[in-house]
Structure 1
Amino acid sequence: MVTLKDYENGETAWCPGCGNFGILQAVKKALVKVGLEPYQVLMVSGIGQAAKLPHYMKCNLFNGLHGRTLPVATGAKIVNPKLTVIAVSGDGDSYSEGGNHFMHAIRRNIDVTYLVHDNQIYGLTKGQASATSAEGFVTKTTPMGAFSKPLNPIALAISQGISFVGRGFSGDIEHLSTLIAEAIENSGFSLVDILQPCVTFNHVNTYQWYRKRIYKLDSSYD
């Protein structure tokens, strides 16, 4: 029987307190919940702090170009449909550079699970505004505040008829792992947008900020 230890693979290189740690643990727990062995799983990522996650797991992985995570994941699933394919991106990799691929992945409905680490900032390149940064958000590239309204990926996905969409919080590992497990078990393209603090470059959307605002929707919500 598969255990969490089967997916362990060395030390991480994220900042202490990074929300990615919770996501990593939730992914492992989800894979154990659905009973998948490491050889049955392919994790695909692009560039960014989120893209490091597959390297910290013992399973098949492919690390590609920035914004091109979904084309690789789609191709892998088509040529080897027995694989459970999980794509991992940050909000920049997914909704900025990869925004076009995101829309077409929904349209094609390939059986891929897409986990987006949404911390509203580019972390690897030291703190620039992303597609989900709030209007007025001050960063190195927006010293006067971001002038654009943030993209709403959940609304976009629902409007395009996605087969599964959910949103979790990296600070609630048990709920997030259940959400990811449900996404993996869905037959079709699944999005899990994960709200995640960046403790180094985003001092607005902190753990405390989220805990005052997040709430759960039960299965009867429409």
Structure 2
Amino acid sequence: MVTVADYKGLESAWCPGCGNFGILNAVKQALVGLGLEPHQVLMVSGIGQAGKLPHYLKCNTFNSLHGRPVPPAIGAKCANPELTVIAVSGDGDAYGEGGNHFIHAVRRNHDITYLVHNNQVYGLTKGQASPTSDIGFVTKTTLHGAPQPVSPLALGIVSGAGFVARGFAGDVEFLTDIIKEAITHKGFSLVDILQPCVSFNRQNTYEWYR
């Protein structure tokens, strides 16, 4: 029987308190809850703090280019339909650089799960505004405040996604259930995860989300 320990990968380099820890725990618990063995799972990521998640899981992994995890994830699923394929991105990776891939993957309804760590900021490059930053959010790239953000859930729905959900990194139990449902859904599934960045987004904190 598979256990959470079977998915233990490298030690993480995330900041203490990072919301990514909650997401990592939820992913492990979801995979174990579905009875999936590490060899049955492929995690594909882009670049960013979210892109490090596959390094911390013991399963098949592929680290792609910035904004480009969806195309190789689709390719892997087409080559091996029995494989459980999960793409992982941050909000900039998914809705900025990778926005075009996201829309067309939804439209074509490829059978992959897309987990987006939405911390509303570019964390790896130290605090620039992202496509989901709140209106007026001041950063070194938005000195006069960020403009209107994209709405990931609405974008997924109007593009035709059959499964669209939002979770919170601070509620691992609920997030685990969402991820399990997303993986078992036949077709493209989007899970947008509100994820506090404790270093570069002091506005959208755990307390703020709760």
TM-score in same-fold range (> 0.5): yes
Structure 2 partner of 1:191: 190
Describe how 1:60-209 pairs up with structure 2 within 5 A: 60-146=60-146, 148-209=147-208
SS of the residue aligned with 2:72? Answer: helix
SS of the residue aligned with 1:122? Answer: coil
SS of the residue aligned with 1:191? Answer: strand
Q: CA deviation at 1:10?
A: 2.6
C-alpha offsets along residues 18-63 of structure 1, whole Å, 9 cap, x if unaligned?
0000000000000011110000000000100000000000000000
CA–CA distance in structure 2, aligned partners of residues 45 and 161 of structure 1: 23
SS of the residue aligned with 1:27? Answer: helix
Structure 1 partner of 2:7: 7
Aligned length: 210
CA–CA distance in structure 1, aligned partners of residues 18 and 169 of structure 2: 9
The sequence identity of aligned pairs, in percent, is 71
Counterpart residue identity of residue 102, structure 2: F
CA–CA distance in structure 2, aligned partners of residues 163 and 102 of structure 1: 14
Where does structure 2 lack aligned partners over 5 or more consecutive residues? none
Counterpart residue identity of residue 4, structure 1: V
Q: CA deviation at 1:143?
A: 1.7
C-alpha offsets along residues 127-182 of structure 1, whole Å, 9 cap, x if unaligned?
00000001100111112211x20000101111122110100000000000000000
Q: Does 1:26 align with 2:21?
A: no
CA–CA distance in structure 2, aligned partners of residues 75 and 89 of structure 1: 17
Question: What is the RMSD computed on CA atoms of the aligned residues?
Answer: 0.6
C-alpha offsets along residues 180-208 of structure 1, whole Å, 9 cap, x if unaligned?
00000001000000000000000000000
C-alpha offsets along residues 75-94 of structure 1, whole Å, 9 cap, x if unaligned?
11001111100000000000
CA–CA distance in structure 2, aligned partners of residues 132 and 10 of structure 1: 30
- Runs of at least 4 residues off by over 2 Å: none
Q: CA deviation at 1:17?
A: 0.3
Structure 1 partner of 2:54: 54
CA–CA distance in structure 2, aligned partners of residues 52 and 140 of structure 1: 24
With structure 1 as the length reference, what TM-score do the two structures score?
0.94
Q: Does 1:45 align with 2:39?
A: no
Counterpart residue identity of residue 124, structure 2: L
SS of the residue aligned with 1:54? Answer: helix
Where does structure 1 lack aligned partners over 5 or more consecutive residues? 212-222
SS of the residue aligned with 2:97? Answer: coil
